[in-house]
Every structure is written in C-alpha cells, then in structure tokens.
Amino acid sequence: MNHDSYPDNYIRGILNTVKTIAMVGISPKENRPSFFAFKYLLERGYHMIPVNPGQAGKSILNQAVYAKLSDIPEPVDMVDIFRASEYVLPVVEEALTLRPTPQVIWMQLTIRNDEAARLAEAAGLKVVMDRCPKIEYGRLSSEISWMGVNSRTLSSRRAQNLGTGVQRMGLGATNKKGDH
C-alpha cells in the first residue's frame, strides 16, 4: 500500500464503514486539534470513545474516557492515533490484541510510522497515516469547501445533506468500496 497518497475511494470507504472510533491521545482541552476532530466526528454520527490514561474515569463530551484500548468493553472499528510517531507502535500492537480486531488504524497529521503500518496491514487492517479524519470527512462531504479549501474532488452529483442539523453534509456513498 502506497502511504504517500490515498485514493479518495479508499478514504471514503473507510469513513463510510467504521461506526465506532477510539481516539487515543485525545486532549480534554477544548482548543486542541484532537478535541476538534472528536467533536466533529461525534456530531456526524460516529460513536466516539476517548482514550487517555490521564483522564480515565472522567468524560469528554459525555463519552466515558478509558485509560487504554484494552479497557474498552465494546468492539472498536477504527483506532485514531493522536500521539507522536515514536509512540505509535505500542498503540498498534495493543490494537492488534483486541477482539474483534479493529478494521482500521488511522494516524493523524504529521504522524507516520511505516513499521507500525506494516504490522497492522499484515494482520489485515487498513492503515491511513498523516491525515485527519475531520479534514478528510470535510473534503469528501464538501463541508470543507465552505472554508474555500481545495477539496480536490469534482462531481456533478448533488451533494448530500447528512439529514441531521443545518450545514451538515454526508459522504454520499452507499458502498463500502467508497465509490461515489
């Protein structure tokens, strides 16, 4: 898998398939990028689980915080990692011990660990690195276009409202392959 660039249907397929996302390294501070991404995805219908040992037992945006991935009592579809590249490998190793195993390992902007990626892919997981799911969702739903951002998409199909809330768009794909 080439991790220097991802086709849009790969990303869209992932964001249309996963329902439960565990965010490792989320900050409780409301001005941090991890908090922004958590809130955004929560509002778009994802079941978001915060993971942060320093905040275990508390809650962030009404979601109970767990100390580590293996403490989560329910299946996790995607592990979203907000930790520096050098701390990623242990997180991925722990993710691979979960049952059922998650389907996706996602590493945030500037985070890239090719060794951890290879490990996860060998176990059959999909991997995304150096991307933010909030920005990718924004790009593929066209929400980010409201900010003048180049979504690098092009379509003459109608954009899809999410169905809940004003100014919330959906991803508009009906299949797991991510085709539009």
Bridging pattern class, strands 59-60 and 63-64? antiparallel
- 123: number of Cβ within 10 Å: 13
Q: Which is nearer to other proteins, 102 or 170 (CB)?
A: 170
* Candidate segments 66-74, 79-87, 92-100, 165-173, binder of other proteins by CB under 8 A: 165-173
Task: Classify residue 92 by burial, with Cβ atoms within 10 Å: 0-12, 13-18, 19+.
Answer: buried
Contact 141, 152 (CB under 8 A): no
Tell me how far, at minimum, the Cβ of 38 lies from other proteins, in Å: 10
Nearest CB to other proteins, comparing residues 43 and 121: 43
Nearer to other proteins (CB atom), residue 12 or residue 79: 12
Instruction: State the CB neighbour count (10 A cutoff) for residue 63.
Output: 15
Q: Which residue has the tokens 């790009």?
A: 139
Least distance to other proteins, CB of residue 85, Å: 16
Sketch the per residue contact string, 22 through 61, with other proteins: x for CB under 8 A, - otherwise. --------xxxx-xx--xx--x------------------
Should residue 151 be labelled a site residue for other proteins when binding is judged by CB under 8 A?
yes
Tokens of 67: 């100390």
Residue type present at position 52: N
CB of 31 to other proteins, least distance (A): 5
Taking residue 82's Cβ as centre, other Cβ atoms within 10 Å add up to: 24
User: Measured from the CB of residue 147, what is the shortest distance to other proteins in angstroms?
Assistant: 6
Taking the C-alpha atoms of residue 75 and residue 166, their distance in angstroms, rounded to an integer, is: 31
d(CA 180, CA 155): 9
Binding mask 116-145 for other proteins (x = CB under 8 A): ----------------x--x--x---xxxx
Closest separation in Å from C-beta 82 to other proteins: 12
Instruction: Tell me the two tokens of residue 74.
Output: 């329910």
Residues at the interface with other proteins (CB under 8 A) = 7-9, 30-33, 35-36, 39-40, 43, 109, 132, 135, 138, 142-152, 154-161, 165-167, 169, 179-180
